[in-house]
């Protein structure tokens, strides 16, 4: 089932449409590297990450961005209902070798035009209670 006009019209600015936590491990990073072809060593070797001034291994930015939009995709029911998706990378997500990392996503209605059948969904994406994606916005339309 995908987002329809009736569901969209029932929304209000500020409504939370989805929340989700994503657990990342070093294995997650290796799998993503294989799928994306991004084998930059800062994503799997602490010594290299630290040698370039990082605190340790960090998640791929595109992995974080992809995880962040997933709750909206689940809510929409159809990826073709996304018109635009943009973020600004503000902080890295460090993935500890033993404890991993948890990325939290809260998706809220930021703007609504029920007449046009469109909405802007604002994402609050955080790691260790700090925002890691700024101006994370998904523009959607009803199907």
Percent of the chain at pLDDT above 70? 99
Tell me: pLDDT of 15 over 90. yes
Non-local CB neighbours of 94 within 8 Å, separated by 6+ positions: 54, 55, 56, 57, 58, 59, 101, 127
Domain total in the chain: 1
Query: What's the domain range around 55?
Result: 5-141
CATH code, domain carrying 128: 3.10.129.10
Q: pLDDT for 60-98, tens place per residue?
A: 999 999 999 999 999 999 999 999 999 999 999 999 999
- Res. 133 pLDDT band, cuts 50 70 90: very high
Instruction: Indicate the SS3 state at residue 3.
Output: coil
Q: How far apart are CA 105 and CA 34, in angstroms?
A: 24
Question: What average pLDDT does range 135-141 have in this prediction?
Answer: 97
Instruction: Indicate the SS3 state at residue 31.
Output: helix
Percent of the chain at pLDDT above 90? 96
Non-local CB neighbours of 87 within 8 Å, separated by 6+ positions: 65, 68, 123, 125, 133, 134, 135, 136, 137
The tokens of 78 are what?
Answer: 């159809």
């Amino acid at each position: 089932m995908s987002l329809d006009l009736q569901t969209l019209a029932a929304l209000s600015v500020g409504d939370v449409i989805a929340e989700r936590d994503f657990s990342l491990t070093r294995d997650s990073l290796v799998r993503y590297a294989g799928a994306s072809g991004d084998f930059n060593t800062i994503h799997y070797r602490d010594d290299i990450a630290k040698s370039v001034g990082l605190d340790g291994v960090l998640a791929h930015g595109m992995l974080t961005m992809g995880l962040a939009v997933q709750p909206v995709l689940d809510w929409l029911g159809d990826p073709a209902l996304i018109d635009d998706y943009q973020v600004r990378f503000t902080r890295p997500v460090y993935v500890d070798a033993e404890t991993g990392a948890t990325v939290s996503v809260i998706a809220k209605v930021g703007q609504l035009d029920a007449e046009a059948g469109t909405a802007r969904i604002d994402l609050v994406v955080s790691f260790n209670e700090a925002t890691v994606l700024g101006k994370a916005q998904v523009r959607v339309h009803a199907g």
